[in-house]
């Protein structure tokens, strides 16, 4: 039971990190391409 709980927590952390990374990288990539006016 403990192992399942830990793996669930790790999955949640990874999903949150993934969302944060996507939020951080997408605007930067847009700015590099030159789509600043879409933000």
pLDDT in tens, 1-38: 566 777 888 899 999 999 888 887 766 666 666 665 55
Confidence of residue 39 (pLDDT cuts 50, 70, 90): very low
For residue 20, the 8-state DSSP code is H
The whole domain housing 8 covers 2-38
- Quote the pLDDT of residue 16: 92
- Report pLDDT for 38: 52
pLDDT of residue 23: 81
- Residues whose CB falls within 8 Å of the CB of residue 27, separated by 6 or more in sequence, listed in order: 39
How many domains are there within the chain?
A: 1
Query: With contact defined as beta carbons under 8 Å apart, do 39 and 26 qualify?
Result: no
């Amino acid at each position: 039971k403990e192992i399942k709980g830990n793996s669930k927590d790790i999955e949640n952390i990874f999903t949150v990190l993934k969302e944060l990374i996507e939020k951080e990288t997408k605007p930067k990539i847009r700015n590099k391409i030159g789509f600043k006016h879409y933000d």
